[in-house]
Chain A
Amino acid sequence: MRALLIIWYRDLLRFLRNRLRIVSSLLQPLFWLLLFGTGISGSLRFSGGQGTLGNFNYTEFLFPGVLGMTVLFTSLFSAISVVRDREFGFLKAILVAPVSRVYLGLGKILGGATVSTIQGFLILVLLPLVGVKLRLNFIILFPLVFLVAVMISALGLLISAQIKTTEGFQMIMQFITFPMFMLSGALFPLTNLPLWMDILSKINPATYGIDLLRQTTFRLLGLPDAVRQAFAITLFGKPVSIMTDILIIFVFGTIVTIIAAKIFARQEK
C-alpha cells in the first residue's frame, strides 16, 4: 500500500514539474474543439442536418468526445513512464526495494489516471473559449473521468510492462491509440455504421467511456432526452444506459488492472 502512494506521488510530482507538457497537452484538445468543431458545425448547418434535433450544437457533441480523447491519450501515454524508467534505470532501483510489486503497478495506474483527470479538468477551463458555458454541475463528470482514466491507464501499463524501449512503445501506441480514438465515437456518432466497424467500435473499451461522458454531459447541459438517446450507443439492439456504461467500464477496468499489475510484478530484469 505504501508503495502505491509513493509511486503515485512521484508521477504526480513529475507531471506538475513539467509545465511545458501541461501546456502542450492542452493545445491539441483546443485545436479539435476550436478548429475541427467549428468547421464541422458549419458544414452540418450547410447540409441542413438539424432536422428533428432542433438547433443542436456540434461543439456540445464534440466536447465530451474531446474530454474522452484527452483521457485516452494521456492515460495511454503516461504508461511511457514505465518504459522510460526502465531505460533510465530507475525501475531497477524500485524493483529491488522491499515492497510489493503489485502495488508498484497499481501506483503507476493510479498515477496515470490522476494526471489524466487533471488534464480533463483543465479542458473544462477551455470551454468558454468555444462557446460552451461552464456549469457547476460539471463536477459530477470527475469521478466518471477518473473511472475511465483508470481503465485506460491499466491498459497502458499492460502494454508497457513488456516493452523495453521508448521507440518501441511509441510505435505500438500509434497502432493502438489512433484506431481506439477513431472507433470510440469521440468525433462522430456510432450510428449507421457498416457491420465490421460497428463490431470493432463495440469491442473498443474507449467507446463506453466516451458514451458515458457524453450522456452525462448532455444531462448536465439539460439537453432534451431525445438528443441524448439519439446519440447513445446501442448494444445488441438496445440503447446503452449510463449505468450500463459504468458497469462495463468497471468490470473491464478491474480485469485489466489485475492482469496489468500481475504482469508488471512478474517481470524480470
Chain B
Amino acid sequence: MNYTETVFCINEKMNIIEVKNLTKKYAHLTAVNSVNFNVQDGEMFAFLGPNGAGKTTTIKILTTLLSPTSGTATINGFDVCQQTDEVRGSFGIVFQDPSLDDKLTAEENLRFQGWLYNIPAKELKERIPMLLEMFELKDRAKDLVEQFSGGMKRRLEVARGLLHKPKILFLDEPTIGLDPQTRNKIWEYLRGLKQKEHLTIFYTTHYMDEAEFADKVIIIDHGKIIANGTPAELKTQTNQTTLNDVFLFLTGKDIREVNISTPEKMKGSFGH
C-alpha cells in the first residue's frame, strides 16, 4: 500500500522547492514570518511583494546565504540547512545587485564559475562559447567586464547562472534598470529554457507585466504570504483585470517607507 503511494507521488509533478513555516527574525523585525509554499518542477514562479516585504531574505535562505530562525526549506529534495553542497549544486542564481568580477573578461568569469562548480574541462569548453553565443556576447568574450553595459552584464550573469545546468534558476529582480529590448530578450531566453530543458524559474520583479506569464504567483507583504495562485486565479479572486491592479489591491497604494535601519536593508546596503 505504502509502496504504491510512493510511486503515485513520483508520477505526480514533483515539488522542487518546499517551504514550511519559514521564519527569519532580526532583533527588531520579523523579515519572513512563517511562510509556506511549494514550487513544482519546471514551473515559472513569480515571487512578488513591495520593497522590504521579505523577498530577498527568503531567496537568501533558499540559496544558503542566510540560515532561517525556524522552519524548513528543501531545494531539489535537499535541506537548505543540512545538505548545503547538494542544494548549492542544484540552483543557479542571478542576484539583485551585480556580482561579476569586473577585472576579469566575460569568458574568465564563466570559466571561474565552471571551476567552482567542478564542470569537466571538456564540457566547459563547449558550454562557455554556447552560452556566450546564446546571450549574444560572443564577440565580447575576451573583453573585461568593467567595459560592459548594464544589459550585457545582466546577460552574462544569467549565462553564468545557467553554466552548470542547474535544476532551478533564482532571479532576484533580474531586469531592474534594463531597457525594454534587453528585458524582452532575457525573458525570451528564459522561457525557451523552461520549455526545452524543463528549467524551474523562481523570480522576483516589480514589473507586473513580467509576472503575467508566470505559472504561479505568490505575493508576500510584511513577511507573510497574502496571495498564492495562477495569475488568472488571483485576478478572479480580487476581481481585477491586471496583475498590477491585483498587486495594488492587495498591498495598498501607500509608498513603503523602507527604513534604512531595518536589518534587511542594512545587510543590503553594506553587504554587497
Contact = CB atoms under 8 A, between A and B. Distances in A.
Nearest to B64: A96
Given A86-B271, A96-B93, A268-B65, A14 B103 contact: yes
Interface stretch (A30-38, A87-95, A229-237): A87-95
Given A87-B272, A98-B117, A269-B60, A92 B88 contact: no
Contact of B270 (A88, A94, A96, A164): A164
A3 interface: yes
B66 A268 contact: yes
Contact of B88 (A17, A86, A88, A96): A96
Interface string B94-119: 01011111111000100011011110
Nearest to B89: A98
Contacts of B262: none
12 contacts: A6-B116, A13-B108, A86-B271, A86-B272, A88-B99, A88-B102, A93-B93, A94-B116, A95-B65, A97-B113, A98-B84, A164-B270
A254 interface: no
Contacts of A219: none
B63 interface: yes
B63 A2 contact: no
Contacts of B256: none
A97 B272 contact: no
A93 B99 contact: yes
Contact of A6 (B86, B88, B115, B270): B115
A15 to B, nearest CB: 10
Nearest to B85: A98
Contacts of A269: 60, 65-66, 267, 271
Interface of A: 2-3, 6, 10, 13-14, 17-18, 86-90, 92-99, 164-165, 268-269
Contacts of B117: 97-98
Contacts of B115: 2, 6
B85 A96 contact: no
B67 interface: yes
Contacts of A268: 65-67
A9 to B, nearest CB: 9
B17 to A, nearest CB: 15
Contacts of A88: 98-99, 101-102, 272
Contact of B116 (A18, A86, A89, A97): A97
A141 B30 CA distance: 55
Contacts of A6: 112, 115-116
Contacts of B104: 10, 13-14
A18 B108 CA distance: 16
B105 to A, nearest CB: 10
A164 B116 contact: no
A95 B108 CA distance: 18
Nearest to A165: B270
B249 to A, nearest CB: 34
A87 B100 CA distance: 11
